[in-house]
Each structure stands twice: as structure tokens, then as C-alpha cells.
Structure 1
Amino acid sequence: MTQRVFVSSVDEFIRYLTDVRQVSEHTVSNYRRDLLRFCHFLESKNIKRWSQVDSGHIRFFSAYLKHQQLASKSIQRNLSACRSLFRFLNKEGVCKTNPAQAVSAPKADRKLPGTFDTDQLNALLGFTPQTWIEYRDKAIMELFYSSGLRLSELVSLNRSSIDLISGQLRVTGKGNKTRDLPIGRMAIKALNEWLEKRPQNTDQALFTTEQGNRLQPRSIQQRLKYWMVRQGVTGNLYPHKLRHSFASHMLESSSDLRAVQELLGHEDISTTQIYTHLDFQHLAQVYDNAHPRAKRSKPPK
């Protein structure tokens, strides 16, 4: 019975996220999974009502997740889900406090994102399409790199989202926020070619399957891996790597952190600042290779 009460509250919260907040499907899925895990944890501690949960239980939950060897970032997301849930329960009058508010997650290691250099990108994109699916795939990859889109943003694009005459697109990103982005010359060319081949009388989606349905994220990920192998580019290709490459190359050329923040749609500039570390890493490598007194001697065998 206790478990049913908790799960019922989580279901109401998920409906609120979906219908009122219009949170992305991916975020909703993660929150639901995290909160159901939290419900099981509370049941194991013989907690019967939300009002019984205190900050000690939340800290214990965080420690439990760490014991389960969850990554710091995953623990942060779990605690964020708990904080959001209790804010909702406060509004609904189910409980009066937010015990998760004061509990901080373990600090995540700052991992530098993977990027491609320009030679790798030229190798990846340097092919002449022959079939309609190749025209589509090239337009997808060019647009990812041209405008720094997230996978969910690219999937949601409609034909009406882009204006190839003015060279810009309008996209709705995280938090249902809309932003206008420029489209590069090569991406405009690839998109024009794709639109000539794109099946007519199909879904309003910009990128579609052969049956005319909107192309789904998993299909795009699989096509990118296909092109990595076909073009002989080493490493791993995933949509966010093209976004990371866009951000890194823009920052390296312009040094305008605020502009890159706007282009990426980051709410907090600290999220964008990771690319300054990436840029410094590149500069340090150039320095080590070029400066006469920076070259390191080879270690003895």
C-alpha cells in the first residue's frame, strides 16, 4: 500500500512535467526511473508517508546510490529529481518541506568532451551523395556541425523551421526555449540538395524515413556510426560529438564565450566554459610542440 501511494505521487508529478512544464521525453524518462528507485528505497526504510522523509533519508539515499556505483553525474540527476518532486508535493500540500533541498551530490569529475579536428570532419563529410538516403545523411551531419544542434533539436525540426534564403533556422531546445541560429554555406547546400530528393506528401518533419515518417534519434545515431566506418574516420561518432566540435572550433576562432553560449542554448555560462579548457589543452599541445624550451625529452627506456 505504501509503495502504491509513493508511485501514485510520482505518476502525478510526471504528468505535471509532461503536460504543464512540457519537459523533453528523455528527461521525463530519466526522472521517472530515478524517482521509482527512490520509492523503492523509502519502502525499504519503512517510510510510509512523504511527510516522514527528512534530509537524513536523502543523504542516505545518495550514499546508497554511490554504493551501487552510480556515476557522480547520475547521483546529481537523482537528487535533482527528488528536489523537483518535493517542490511539486509542497505546492500540492502533500508535505511542507523539501528535505532534498540542502543535500548536495558528490562532485562530478570534469570530463572534457570528445571532438573532431578539421581534417577528420573533412574526411567524414567529403563524399558525394548518390542516393536519397545519402543526401539526407549528409544534410544531417552538415547541419549538426554547422549549427551545434542537440540530437533532440535536430529530430524536432520541421520543414518550416528553416529558411535557406536568409540562412537561418529556429529551434526549440531545453526548457522549451526557442532560439534562432545561422546555417553555414555547406549545410545550406546539403539541405537544398536533400529537399530536392526528400519524398513529397510526407510528414512535416525536415528529416524523414523512406516511408515519410519523422526520423527518430536511434536511427540517426546508427547512420552516424555507419558513416564513420564508411569514411574511415577513427574514433567514435555520436551526435553530441559534432556539437562539441562546433563549440570548440567556434571558441578557438572567436574567443567569444558569450556568443558560443547563445549559439549552444546554454542557460549557465559555466556549462560553456568547459570548451575553454578544451581550447587551452589544444594551445598547450601546440606550445609543447613548438617552443624550444618546452619540448620534453623522451624518457629513458
Structure 2
Amino acid sequence: MSSKPAAALEHWIQRFLDYLRYERVSSPHTCKNYQRTLNHFSIEMAEHLPDWQALKPSYIREYISELSFQGLAASSLNLRLSALRSFCRFLLREGVLQSNPADGVQAPKQAKPLPKNMDVDELNQLLDIQDDDPLALRDKAIFELFYASGLRLAELVSLDMVMVDLREQEVRVTGKGNKTRIVPFGKQARDAIKAWIKVRGELAPADESALFVSQRRQRMSPRSVEARLKLWAKIQGLGDNVHPHKLRHSFATHMLESSGDLRAVQELLGHANLSTTQVYTHLDFNHLAEVYDKAHPRAKRKE
């Protein structure tokens, strides 16, 4: 690239950086990142760009695609694209461009991080609460039901006494979209709920319908449940990075690993779309390979 086009490109980059520093009062960190992106972009696109008026959406797409091919993380690609969009808006304001060529460029989708699940040993450690205090019995019942049913936190605190059938070991839940579903739970959750109901009257007024009540003699709040779970996780030697969603995710993961039945887990979790369950849960490769070997007619591999 000749020195004249290079100077034209650098001139507007400097004007933009001055605008960020003195008019927008952007942080030095932001200015440095934007400068690095724009300098890199102008070098990479040198053969196409005699000046910024020649900038086209295809150049930006090509640039982002090449960075993606090189393995740059989606979050970093989005930051680069954000810098280019801001710069193009500035050039549009200054009359250098007639439209923003970065507006039509789609940012790459960022992978949703999967919540960490707890393994079975960790869950056994958490649920091994040996205490007959009413609050401890209540908390054990909450945690057992969480892991046994995979309920959302909002669903659990919304439970009323009449929604739990101990004989059938089922709970009727009203989830997202006001949709009702029936979710089964196991013997240990049933026993824990029974133990809690025996002492529930020590905390709950006679006219209170909520299954789980606080020391204030009213329905527990989501924040209270989160706080109690963190407390017991520390008491049981698991640290304080345990939250209700981790129990729900552990339920889903363990159910899928044992059954491989994505549709059933979808119903239990109350997901409207199967794609949500696929993102929300994960299987280790060995289990997937085992299911594949058993199910696919042409999957017979050498012993």
C-alpha cells in the first residue's frame, strides 16, 4: 500500500480515537482496543482500501471470517466487530461514508456456557444432613426435591401443600407459560418431605398453603433458598459455589447419562423446545458412543 492511502486511513483512525477520548470520554482500555482493531483491520484490508470511502460490508465479513478461521473466540470476534461498527458510525457522522457497512454484518453466535453439574458423590455429601432441627429438615427436603425432580427455583418456592402427592410420589408444577406438568420424585425425597411436614406446623400458620415456609412464617423466597443452599454447601464441605440451578442441571445430566432419553428429560424439565434441553444438558462422549453402538444398524465396530 502506498504511503498516501495509508496516511488517509491513519488520519481517520486518529480522528476517531480523539473523538473517543475527548468527546465520548471513553476509557483508555477501550481506546487501546479500538485502535488495535482498526490498525489491524486496515493492514489486513490494505489491498482493497485506498481510503475509508471504499469500505464495503464484504470486506468486514471477510475480515471477521478469517479471524474466526484462525480460531479467535466468539467473544473476541464480537469485540472486533463492535469496534468496526463504532468507527463506521463515526465516519457516517463525518460524511466520509453514506451508510454503515458494518450494520449488515452478523456477529458470530457465542456458545452458551453450560452450567456445571455436581457428580453423584458431591450430591450425596450435600444431602447427608444429619440434623433434626426443623430448619435442617426443611432444607433437606428442599434439596432432595430439587435433585429428585429438576424443578426450577421459582417452581419450587411456588409449591403448595396440595400440589405434592406423597403416596404417588408426584408433584404438580406450574412452569413457564403457565403450563402445568406432573413430575415424579423418588423415595428419599418422599421421606425427606414427610419428615419436614411433621414439623412444618412449628413454622407455618394454620392458614399457610406454601409447602416450604421461612422463619417469618411465610412462603420462602428464592433468595432465601439460595442462601440456605450456599450455607449447607459450606457446612458439608463443598464450598459456596452451589446454587439451585446446579441441582437442576445435575438432575438433567444424570437422567440423560442413565437413560439417553432426551424427550423424557425435556418433559421432566418443562422445556417447550427440545433444542433447549440439548443445550442445557450434555453427555460424555463414552456414553454417546455406547448408545450409538447399540442403536445404529451399521455401527458394529471391532471388539
TM-score, length basis structure 2: 0.57
- Give unpaired runs (5+ residues) of structure 2: 1-74, 79-103, 291-303
Name 2:26's counterpart in structure 1.
Answer: none
Question: What does 1:1-301 align with in structure 2 at a 5 Å threshold?
Answer: 107-199=109-201, 200-234=205-239, 236-274=241-279, 278-280=282-284, 283=287
Question: One-letter code of the match for 1:240?
Answer: H
Alpha-carbon separation, structure 1, partners of 2:106 and 2:118 = 34
TM-fit CA distance, 1:275: 5.1
Count of residues paired in the alignment: 186
| CA–CA separation in structure 2 for the residues paired with 1:165 and 1:136 | 19
The CA distance in 2 between the partners of 1:103 and 1:272, in whole Å, is 29
Give TM-score scaled by structure 1 length: 0.57
Q: CA deviation at 1:203?
A: 1.4
The answer on whether the counterparts of 2:150 and 2:249 sit within 8 Å (CA) in structure 1 is yes
Deviation at 1:107, TM superposition (A): 2.0
The structure-2 alpha-carbon separation of the partners of 1:282 and 1:144, relative to structure 1 and needing over 3 Å to count, comes to farther
> SS state of the match for residue 180, structure 1?
strand
Distance in 2 (alpha carbons) for counterparts of 1:139 and 1:281:
33
Counterpart CA distance in 2 for 1:260 and 1:146 is 12
Q: Is the 8 A contact 2:229 2:243 kept in 1?
A: yes
State the 1:281 CA deviation: 5.3
The percentage of aligned residue pairs carrying the same residue is: 52
Residues 152 and 264 (structure 1 numbering): CA distance in 2 closer, same or farther, change over 3 Å?
same
Residue type of the alignment partner of 1:229: K
RMSD between aligned alpha carbons? 2.6
Q: Equivalents in 1 of 2:263, 2:246: separation in Å?
A: 21
Query: Match for residue 51 of structure 2?
Result: none
- 2:284 aligned partner, one-letter code: F
Q: Distance in 2 between matches of 1:216 and 1:282?
A: 40
Q: CA deviation at 1:143?
A: 0.4
Distance in 2 of aligned mates of 1:108 and 1:150: 24
The structural deviation recorded for 1:264 is 0.3
Shift in CA distance, 207/105, structure 1 to aligned 2, threshold 3 Å: farther
Alpha-carbon separation, structure 2, partners of 1:180 and 1:103: 45
Q: Is the 8 A contact 1:129 1:138 kept in 2?
A: no
Runs (4+) of structure 1 exceeding 3 A deviation are: 102-106, 281-284
Counterparts of 1:176 and 1:283 in 2: how far apart (Å)? 35
Decide which structure has the larger Cα Rg and report it: 2
Contact preservation (8 Å) 1:148, 1:264: yes
